[in-house]
Structure 1
């Protein structure tokens, strides 16, 4: 077996007892599983934290790691001390999942003779219901951009695409002009989105999103495209003619929410949640919403049905004369 690649941002010594296993697993995730750079970076941070913890405990070899070391690592993450903050439950769970998968990979790839993490339980998280915006707040948000300016045209296209397709912020920022060409010329053609794990799906593009994108392409994008030395294919640009970043898109959304007078915290996922919830409120089948969101399992989508049921309950309690029994 060839030695795994260690060409990573951290020097080999940082990995300690994970020096042979961690780079091999990350290479496997990136090359064979096709995980995104952001996901790989998150796993890398988790494993570097794990490696440092093991070294503090005096463990120098991967074969010397015991199950109790991993359970203590989990407790260590969740408690914190004067030098380090307590990790959020979701962060602890993600880190332990990474550690379990690392040890499972080491066994299957012949890098270890046993999986000492197999019996380590991942902490269970309480279900957090996604926060969807009411329809009137979404409407107010979408009307904030000044469509008489290139910036406003870009912002309107961004917001309409997010809410009109339920796409993730990265999926919208990754769109190229060619991705919209067929959809704009043929109203019945769908928009191709590339999601997690390079999974593709096609979603309808409604008239409001289509009009906003067309206005941006005709009256806004050419103005900013001229500012770039080497104009690229990106659909959404910044004022320098370069592809709009996810961070900038997030900032646009937050500013629009403030100007719309929305007090609740609004993120790109807020519009994705709103897209799904409003579809279900309107009678859409959960399987259809699953396909539109690009969820691998309908179980992930069913959390939105919980939101809808809760909304119906609130309306019932407020409107029915005999809803309150006490």
Structure 2
């Protein structure tokens, strides 16, 4: 199976600009894109994030958070770091929008910025949680997938003209960009939660880094 593409920085910037002026919920969609590219989370994981995974009670950002084991795709907790200024700014804008739209808010305005800490961090355009589709395999195994969120991310890439862009591409891009910055395979493994270093190596191999970017920094 072919690997998802690596989306370059200028393409991500373009996608964010397009998302900001299209769709039913531009503020949310911009925040979604930044979270996928800034964390490497899967759609199921993003759909299950709570406000309290991002904020502490006094309204400050929970910089050193954890992806809870019960929502991680592999059932294992891993670091979730909210330290990227662009990601946090986009989420903050969305939370302000939620407050003004009365989506998942509480009467305690001084706590969690007035947003219900137990509500999903991201909501549908109508202000409800994203639904999950239940599937049963031929062997009887049951799985759930957030197809609505997966489709939103695919559509946002399509609108920006990014071929084969989707949540899997964002996840691989996150890993590849860490690798380009010289981060160890072990650290990348810890952040994205894959099973082995071999899996991480397979994910970052074949990085289509542009030759001009390499040559321009030689001297």
TM-score normalised by L of structure 2: 0.72
Is residue 261 of structure 1 aligned with residue 161 of structure 2?
Answer: yes
What RMSD, in angstroms, separates the aligned Cα atoms of the two structures? 3.1
| 4+ aligned runs moved over 6 Å, structure 1 | 147-150
Q: Which of 131, 136, 147 is 2:10 aligned to?
A: 136
Q: How does 1:1-326 map to 2 (within 5 A)?
A: 128-146=2-20, 151-182=25-56, 185-186=60-61, 188-193=63-68, 194-205=71-82, 206-220=84-98, 222-223=100-101, 225=103, 233-245=119-131, 246-262=146-162, 264-308=163-207, 311=208, 315=211
**Larger RCO (CA within 8 A; separation ≥ 6):** 2
More helix by share: 1
Contact 1:144 1:260 (8 Å CA) reproduced: yes
Q: Work out the CA distance in 1 between the residues paired with 2:6 and 2:24.
A: 29
Q: Report how many residues are paired.
A: 186
Contact 2:98 2:104 (8 Å CA) reproduced: no
Contact 2:15 2:160 (8 Å CA) reproduced: yes
Return closer, same or farther for 1:221/1:191 CA change in 2, 3 Å cut-off.
Answer: farther
TM-score normalised by L of structure 1: 0.50
Query: What residue in structure 2 maps to residue 99 of structure 1?
Result: none
Q: Work out the CA distance in 2 between the residues paired with 1:217 and 1:145.
A: 17
Q: Work out the CA distance in 2 between the residues paired with 1:153 and 1:217.
A: 9
* 3-state SS of 2:25 partner: helix
Gap regions ≥5 residues in structure 1: 1-126, 320-326
Return closer, same or farther for 1:255/1:197 CA change in 2, 3 Å cut-off.
Answer: closer
More strand by share: 2
Q: Work out the CA distance in 2 between the residues paired with 1:255 and 1:297.
A: 31
